[in-house]
Structure 1
Amino acid sequence: MSGSLGIIRPPAGAGLDWLKAGWGWFKPVPVPWMGMTALVFLALMGVGAIPYVGGYAIEILSPFLVAGYMSASRAAETGQPVTFLHLGAGFADTRGRLGLAVMGTVYLAGILLIDQIMRQMGGDGFQQMSQLAANPAGQDPAQVEAVMGQALPAVFTGLVLLTPLVMATWFAPALVLFDGFSAVNAMWWSLWACAVNWRPILAYSMLLGLLGVVAMLIPFGLGLLVFLPWVLCSTYAAYRAIFQPVAAVP
Structure 2
Amino acid sequence: MASPDTAPAHPPTKQPPAADRVYRHVKEGVLERRYEGGSLLTEGELAEAVGVSRTPVREALLRLETEGLLRLYPKKGALVLPVSAQEIADVVETRRLVEEYTVRRAVPAAPALLDRLADLLEAQRGHAEAGDLAAFAVADRCFHAEIVRAAGNEILSRLYDQLRDRQLRMGVAVMHMHPGRMDRNLAEHTEIHEALRAGDADRAAAAVLGHLGRVELLVRGGGEPR
TM-score, normalising length: structure 2: 0.30
Q: More relative contact order in 1 or in 2 (CA 8 Å, sep 6+)?
A: 1
TM-score, normalising length: structure 1: 0.28
Give the structure with higher Rg (CA): 2
